[in-house]
Structures are given as C-alpha cells and as structure tokens.
Structure 1
Amino acid sequence: MKRNRSKLVLYISIITILVLSLFLSAGISNAQDKKLTFYYVDHGTPGNPFWAVYYKGIEDAIQWLAQFGVEVKHLSAEADVKKQIDMLKMAVAAKPDGLVTSIIDPKTFDPILRPAIEAGMALMAANVEDPRPPEERIPYLAYYGEDTWKSGVELGAALIKYIKETNGFQPKHVLLCNPMAGHYVWEARLQMLGETLEKEYGTKQDKVVVGEDPTKAMEIIRAFLVKNPDVDVICAPTHFTHANVGLVKELGREAGKDIYLCCFDMMPETLQDIKDGKVVCTHDQQQYLQGFLPLIDLYLYKAKYNVHPYGIVSTGPIIIDRYNVDTVIEGAKAGYR
C-alpha cells in the first residue's frame, strides 16, 4: 500500500510540474491547431456527498483548462445506465477530441466507444474500469480510480485489526449493503469484504440491494436488522452508514460497542463518527483526483505531446480510521476529500 501511495504521490507531482509548466507557457495554446472539446460523462448523482467532491475535481479542471480555450461538457447520468448510454451516444456524435467516462456497463458501452476511439477520439476511464481481460476491454488510455478488488480486502483487514487491538468480539453476521445492483465496483468491494471476514472468523454474510434513495434504503436496512437481530457488522455507502449510527440506537444497539459499522467512501459526518468511535473505518478512493486528473491528462495528450499515463492511475484505497481521521477531516473541510 505504501508503494502504491508513493507511486501516486510521484505521479501527481509530475503532473503538477507538467501542468504548471504548460499553463505558464503562453506559446502552447497558440500552437494548437484548433479548439479542443472534451466530454465528461459519469453515472454520478448531484447532491450526493461523494459526488460533490468528485465534481469539484471536474470543475477545477474545467476552470484551469478554460484559459487555453478548452471546452469541457459535463453530463451526469444519476445512476441510470440507460441515461448514461444515451449521453455517451450524444457525446460521441459530437465528435469530441476526448472523453472521460465511468465504464459501468462495458459490453453495452463498447460498440459506442470503440468506433469513436478508432476514429481518433481519446478516452480515459474514471471511477469504474472495464474489468475484462486486456485483449477484450475498451481501449482507453488509462483508468483513474481505486484498486477495486483490493478495497474490500483492505477494509476487512482494518476491521480485523481494530477488533484485535480493542479485544473486541468476533463478528458472526455481516450485512453488506449494495446501492447499485450489478455495479462492478460495489459487487467486488462487498464480495471481498465478506470473504475476508468469513476467512478470519467464519462470519456469515448477506448482501442486500438497498438502492440510492436514502429513505427507501434505511427502510430496507431496518427491516433486515429486525428480522436478523444477530447482525453485528454493517457495511454500507458512507451516507447510509452515518444514518445507521442512529438506526441501530433506535433498535437498542450501540454502534462501536455491540455492532461494528464500516463503509466505503466518506463524508464529514462519517469522519466525525470515526472520531467518536461509532464507525470503525472507511475507505477513501480520493474521488477529487478521479474528476480532475483525466481532464488534465487529456489536454496533455491532445496538445500535440501525446503525454499520458498507462494502465491504472491508482487513487485508492486509503483506509481511514481513528489514527489518521483528524488529518482527513482537514482535507474534507477544504472540499478535496
């Protein structure tokens, strides 16, 4: 993990130097033959705390690139695959110089994106990669995001470490809450977390699709807990995890004592819950970077330099727990975490 983090720091440092050099050189924009147009099409939901940080990354990149005449059109599909397909078709039809998107449905996206790439459009994947073998996957230049299969393992390891350090109880039943049925990243995260706990403690695991709507999600979680009072670990998206602190209290339990809560991603309230001992840990994929870096790299690539990273630009996972939460809180206040 330290090696991956050092690679990320090195990469960001290099990008920062390149960007500053380019932005301070007026000659580069003059060297462009035409105005560049990029599209950023994601599956995000405006108003969601996670996506607010993600969109800040996109907005900051847009502001930086505007001074060089680069136009960026940002579209959000609000967790609707069909809507994202339509947006991608519209974006490709506009024949942009570059496109960034989350590959949440590789087989359906492939016939839309591959012909555009062959025609000269540069593609970056962000947040969700194409999980197929290299010879089959959509030929994007790079993927920006977490190491998906590693995330669940490391979150599970952090929970196990906490249990050992605090001489806590060994969990018997974990509830894994999935906000998006069939979503590659969520399926992988929860699967690996469940398997990690099962391997260590023999923990029973149940995965439940709770959806994106907060009210409906909490109703589903409540119903499951009432029916299964032996659940002693809940893993859910960050915004549901904060709500779970209050929910388990209503059901006569105390988060952090007789039931463990952990989550993927973060928001200020969840960080405070970790600080208060209500939530054990969460994982950070640094979504600001996923919004910001792909657009900067598209510019570097299309401005006649062909500079671009290769493979996975890993932005996580970074585990947040009681040891490092104070530092992360400062980053969250600034809007970058």
Structure 2
Amino acid sequence: MLTAQRPHRAASAVLVALLVATACGDPAQRSGEPGTDSARADLRIVAVTHGVSANPFWSVVINGLDDAARDMGVRVEYQAPSTFDMVTMSELIDAAVASRPDGLVVSVPDPDALGASIRAAVAVGIPVITINSGGDASASLGAVAHVGQAEYDAGFGGGERLAEAGVHRVLCVNQEVGNASLDTRCQGLSDALAEHGVPVEVLAVELADPEDTRQRVAGALLADATIDGMLTLGTTGAEPALAALQDLGRVGDVHLGTFDLSTSVLEAIRDGEIDFAIDQQQYLQGYLPVVLLTLYIETGTVPGGGLALPTGPGFVTSETAQQVMDLTSRGLR
C-alpha cells in the first residue's frame, strides 16, 4: 500500500498571502499592458501545460496568468497541446526553450516523458516553475518551485468523506490515465477507503467524449449494483457521471464527489446531487508562478528556498457552493 507524509501547510499559506500582497502593488497600474518599468516590460515568460481545450479547468489558470502579467508588468505566452499528448507537449517545451524566454512555467503530468525537455531549460539558465502536476518530481527536474495541490492528500480527503457517507464500493473515474497526478489522486482515495475495508476500482474514461463517459459509468453501475460511491477526477468526468446517475434513477443512492469546479457541478452540489467538490484553486496556479518568476529574475530569491506552495485541497459543499459560484462566474474559481 502506498503511503505518503502529510505536509505542514501553515508556512506555505503565509507565503501565498505575502506573494499575493506583493503582486497587487498599486491597483492603478492594472492596465492589461506591461507597466512603466522598462526592465519588466522586456521580461517574457512562457507557460506550457497539458491543459487541452476540452477542459474548462485551464481557462481559469489562463485568467491567473493574464492577471499576473498585467499586475507584474511582464509578458506571458501560453501554449498547450490539443490533446493529452506528451510527445507534442515535450516539443512545445523544446520550442519554448529555443526561444530563450526569461522564465518557464510548465505542468508535469509525466515526469519521465517531459523531464529531458525541462532539464534542457534549466541547463541553459532558464528558471522553471512547475504547476498543477509533477510536484513530487519538481525539485529533481531543477525547478525553483512548485505551485499546486497536494494530490495524494486531496484524494485521501475525498476518500474520508465518502467513508463518512457510508459507501461500500467506489469507482475512481479517471479521464487521463497516465497522468501521474490523477493516478496519485486515485491512490489517495484507495488508501483512505482501505482503512474502512472499502474497495476501489479505477474506471478509465475519455476526457473529450462526455457521452462515452456517461455510457461507461452507467455500464459500470449496471454491471455491479453494489457500487454506491464515485469520485471523478475533474468536471469533465463529474457532469456525465451525474447524467448517468440521473438516467438510472440513482441520484442520492450513489454518493458522488469530484475534483474541480464548474457552474453545473456547483449547482448540483447546491441541489444535493453531488456531495462535494475538491477545489485546488487553479487561478493561483496561473497567478503565483508569474509573481515568483518575476521576483526570482529580479532578485534571485524564492520563498522557502523552493518550498512547494500548495493551492489545495479545499472542499466545496452545499453550504459554500453559492459563494463559490459567484467567484466562478468571474473566472476566479
């Protein structure tokens, strides 16, 4: 059984608050264009992620990148493959490195596939910050910091909540099998539920095909009527999973939790159709790396000597769903 240490996050939370305060500066300078500091106006940061266009999660990350670029007065360019494709992503990183940016922001869903490209950036003196996935590999790849969720803890916490709900058999619905961070979420879920004698099965689905996901979830539930819990690893899994429950008349009978937020997921939480969502505050995964890289380029400093800055997990329930919906409508959650 996989085990993991639970990090102490108080110091990191303080660092996040200080960084946000530092970044905001004079609100009069938020113009959407580089600021008056000519040195900063020349700074160029490239962000490369695995965030395919079919996943609305990444639009919030991009909002964070854009807002930080305006606040810090730097240029940020964003690139991502059209599908979950590590070969294409490594090529995008290689092209970014060849363009010699002042800094690189990169997600690392597969450290083995992307490691050589990231190390090549470090080798030519480009500071790298990893985000979202790849926190365990970040330091070994030479990154100066990682900004993201503690994925094992998040999955474990989801498992504890499902255990409290009294589930007996659970599906972990994974829309990107092979993404190390998503696999870690399922492992955390499995370990938490193992403590209660609850088995977990991983169900692979297609991120870009919600109808296929709905059918696969429905098929799994019909094949095993003892399944009474599900954790989906993103909203692209949650929405068709809920549709499958509605088709089968099992809403409320099967406890459903999910990672990440969307308007429809939050409405379902508010209405009692989904138990909870695990919020990793992805806006910060876009915003904070730009702040960190700007300060690192200018001063050579990084908070905590490279201490990972966790942006989650937090849990959204029926009591907090409406408040979070208001922020989601603004592209902040």
- Shift in alpha-carbon separation, 1:146–1:119, aligned structure 2, 3 A: same
Q: Are positions 1:29 and 2:37 aligned together? A: yes
Partner residue in 1 for 2:48: 41
- Shift in alpha-carbon separation, 1:317–1:57, aligned structure 2, 3 A: same
- Determine the C-alpha separation between the residues in 1 that align with 2:329 and 2:25: 29
Query: Percent of aligned pairs with the same residue?
Result: 26
- Shift in alpha-carbon separation, 1:22–1:97, aligned structure 2, 3 A: farther
- Determine the C-alpha separation between the residues in 2 that align with 1:41 and 1:27: 24
- Determine the C-alpha separation between the residues in 1 that align with 2:36 and 2:59: 32
Q: How far does residue 329 in structure 1 lie from its aligned partner after superposition?
A: 2.1
Of 64, 70, 77, which residue of structure 2 is paired with 1:63? 70
- Determine the C-alpha separation between the residues in 2 that align with 1:22 and 1:108: 41
- TM-score (normalised: structure 2): 0.87
**C-alpha contact (below 8 Å) 1:242/1:273 kept by paired residues:** no
- Shift in alpha-carbon separation, 1:143–1:270, aligned structure 2, 3 A: same
- Determine the C-alpha separation between the residues in 2 that align with 1:319 and 1:91: 35
Decide which structure has the larger Cα Rg and report it. 1
SS in 1 for 2:128: strand
- TM-score (normalised: structure 1): 0.86
Partner residue in 2 for 1:102: 107
Cα RMSD (Å) of the superposition?
2.6
Q: Match for 1:111: what amino acid?
A: A
- 1:63-82 maps to which residues of 2 (within 5 A)? 63-65=70-72, 68=73, 70-77=74-81, 78-82=83-87
- Determine the C-alpha separation between the residues in 2 that align with 1:2 and 1:131: 12
- Shift in alpha-carbon separation, 1:61–1:228, aligned structure 2, 3 A: same
**C-alpha contact (below 8 Å) 2:57/2:260 kept by paired residues:** yes
Partner residue in 1 for 2:262: 267
- Determine the C-alpha separation between the residues in 2 that align with 1:250 and 1:21: 51
Q: Are positions 1:242 and 2:245 aligned together? A: no
Aligned residues: 319
Give a deviation string over 1:167-204, Cα, whole Å, max 9, x none.
Answer: xxx3221111111111111111112112212322x222
- 1:79-228 maps to which residues of 2 (within 5 A)? 79-132=84-137, 137-161=140-164, 163=165, 170-200=166-196, 202-213=197-208, 214-228=210-224
**C-alpha contact (below 8 Å) 1:239/1:267 kept by paired residues:** no
Of 5, 8, 13, which residue of structure 1 is paired with 2:17? 13
Unaligned ranges ≥5, structure 1: 164-169
- Shift in alpha-carbon separation, 1:118–1:333, aligned structure 2, 3 A: same
Q: Match for 2:16: what amino acid?
A: I
**C-alpha contact (below 8 Å) 1:178/1:209 kept by paired residues:** yes
Q: Are positions 1:311 and 2:319 aligned together? A: no
- Determine the C-alpha separation between the residues in 1 that align with 2:276 and 2:330: 21
SS in 1 for 2:327: helix
